[in-house]
């Protein structure tokens, strides 16, 4: 169903408003970081929920909460203060292809990062300037930080995407949407201020890509970084300051029908 251009903005705005509501939270992985009030707890819980965000949403939420329980319900305290022996609790944790060794590696990488930084925002924003058109450098920089490590779990690389490998970086772009977007709806957090909402890139997955193509917003046939950029640039024609708010419209329509 291709909507004519003169009606497209109205449709996008209406759909975005319909899904960008507090009622959206409980059924979405963003509900996981919404359990917390401390910045660092939110960003750590959000990070793990985001990288586990493939498959059925109820399963993603349940597995994310299971992981947080293994962190004693205090992710920042656990990440910063845990010792190597404490990582044994992860030995039985699995989510699809995410294995215990991946969680252990990422926990160690985060611990090393927080020893020098107050917020995970720095892991992305330190690699960007206000002149950057998008978050390419932030995503690539984050990937390099994670794997700048004395020991590297090579298998973990598939769980942390980078645009340098042409990935659409769906899960990390979703995470950045959660942390950066600012409005009064109460869904996204808007806690990170060093990255502009105008620099965000749409979290492009199967549902979003299919709807975007039906609407004539995306021509590229594969869901890679180039396609994510193409779609984001098209959405900027409707809102140049906050194009990723239309993720609510496209994802909602993909899950629930046009």
Percent of the chain at pLDDT > 70 equals: 97
Report the SS3 class of residue 48: helix
User: Which residue, 123, 118, 125, is CA-closest to 200?
Assistant: 125
* Segment 199-206 mean pLDDT: 97
Q: How far apart are CA 147 and CA 142, in angstroms?
A: 9
Across 135-152, b (16+ Cβ under 10 Å) vs e yields bbbbbbbbbebbbeeeee
Q: What's residue 257's pLDDT?
A: 62
Across 217-251, b (16+ Cβ under 10 Å) vs e yields bbebeebbbebbbbbbbbbbebbeebbbbbbbbbb
Q: What's residue 1's pLDDT?
A: 42
Q: What's residue 44's pLDDT?
A: 98
Report the SS3 class of residue 95: strand
Residue-number span of the structural domain to which 223 is assigned: 5-256
Q: What's residue 258's pLDDT?
A: 58
User: Which residue, 228, 183, 172, is CA-closest to 49?
Assistant: 172
**Domains: count for the chain:** 1
| Other residues' Cβ atoms within 10 Å of the Cβ of residue 130 | 9
Are 120 and 113 in contact, with CB atoms under 8 Å apart? Answer: yes
* Segment 204-225 mean pLDDT: 96
User: Which residue, 1, 4, 14, 8, is CA-closest to 238?
Assistant: 8
Q: What's residue 251's pLDDT?
A: 92
pLDDT, one tens digit per residue, over 167-185 is 999 999 999 999 999 999 9
Report the SS3 class of residue 98: strand
pLDDT, one tens digit per residue, over 9-42 is 999 999 999 999 999 999 999 999 999 999 999 9
Q: What's residue 59's pLDDT?
A: 97
- Enter the pTM of the model: 0.95
**Could you tell me the pLDDT band of residue 255, with boundaries at 50, 70 and 90?**
confident
211 burial level (CB within 10 Å; 0-12, 13-18, 19+): buried
User: Quick one: CA dihedral 63, 66, 67, 73, positive or negative?
Assistant: positive
Tokens representing 60 are: 């993603």
Are 241 and 197 in contact, with CB atoms under 8 Å apart? Answer: yes
């Amino acid at each position: 169903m291709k909507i004519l251009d003169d009606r497209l903005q109205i449709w996008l705005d209406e759909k975005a408003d319909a899904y960008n509501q507090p009622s959206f939270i409980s059924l979405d992985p963003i509900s996981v970081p919404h359990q917390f009030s401390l910045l660092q707890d939110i960003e750590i819980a959000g990070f793990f929920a985001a990288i586990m965000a493939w498959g059925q949403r109820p399963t993603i939420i349940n597995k994310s909460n299971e992981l947080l329980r293994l962190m004693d319900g205090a992710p920042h305290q656990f990440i910063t203060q845990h010792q190597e022996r404490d990582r044994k609790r992860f030995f039985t944790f699995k989510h699809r292809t995410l294995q215990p060794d991946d969680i252990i590696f990422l926990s160690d990488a985060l611990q090393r990062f927080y020893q020098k930084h107050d917020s995970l925002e720095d892991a992305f924003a330190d690699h960007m300037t206000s002149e950057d058109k998008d978050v390419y450098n932030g995503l690539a920089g984050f990937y390099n930080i994670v794997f700048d490590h004395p020991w590297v779990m090579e298998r973990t690389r598939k769980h942390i995407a980078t645009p340098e490998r042409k990935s659409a970086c769906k899960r990390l772009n979703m995470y950045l949407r959660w942390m950066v977007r600012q409005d009064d709806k109460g869904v996204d957090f808007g806690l990170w201020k060093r990255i502009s909402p105008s620099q965000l890139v749409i979290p492009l997955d199967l549902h979003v890509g299919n709807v975007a193509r039906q609407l004539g917003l995306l021509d590229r046939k594969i869901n890679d970084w180039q396609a994510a950029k193409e779609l984001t640039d098209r959405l900027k024609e409707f809102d140049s300051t906050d194009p990723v708010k239309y993720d609510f419209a496209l994802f909602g329509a993909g899950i629930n029908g046009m």
